[in-house]
Amino acid sequence: MFGAGVVAGLLGIGAGALKVLIHDLVMGLPPKVSTTTSNLIIGVTALAGTSVYLAAGLINPGVAAPVIVGIVAGAFIGTRVLVRLSNEAIRRFFMVVLLVLGVQMIVRGFLS
Q: Which residues of 52-74 are buried (b: 16+ CB within 10 A; e: fewer)?
A: eeeeeeeeeeeeeeeeeeeeeee
Residue 17 CA to residue 98 CA, distance in Å, equals 7
Among 73, 67, 14, which Cα is nearest to 42's? Answer: 14
Cα–Cα distance, 90 to 97 (Å, whole number):
10
Query: So what's the pLDDT on residue 84?
Result: 92
Q: Give me the pLDDT at residue 1, please.
A: 65
pTM over 0.85: no
What is the number of structural domains in the chain?
1
Burial of 76 (0-12, 13-18, 19+ CB in 10 A): exposed
Query: Which among 41, 35, 43 is positioned nearest to 87, based on CA atoms?
Result: 35
Tens-of-pLDDT digits for all 112 residues of the chain?
A: 677 667 666 666 666 777 777 777 788 888 888 878 877 887 888 888 888 998 999 988 889 899 989 989 998 998 899 889 998 898 888 889 888 888 888 888 888 7
Q: What is the pLDDT of residue 91?
A: 84
Q: Provide the domain limits for residue 44.
A: 2-111
Distance CA 98, CA 18 (A): 9
In tens, the pLDDT along 58-80 reads 988 889 899 989 989 998 998 89
Amino acid at 53: Y
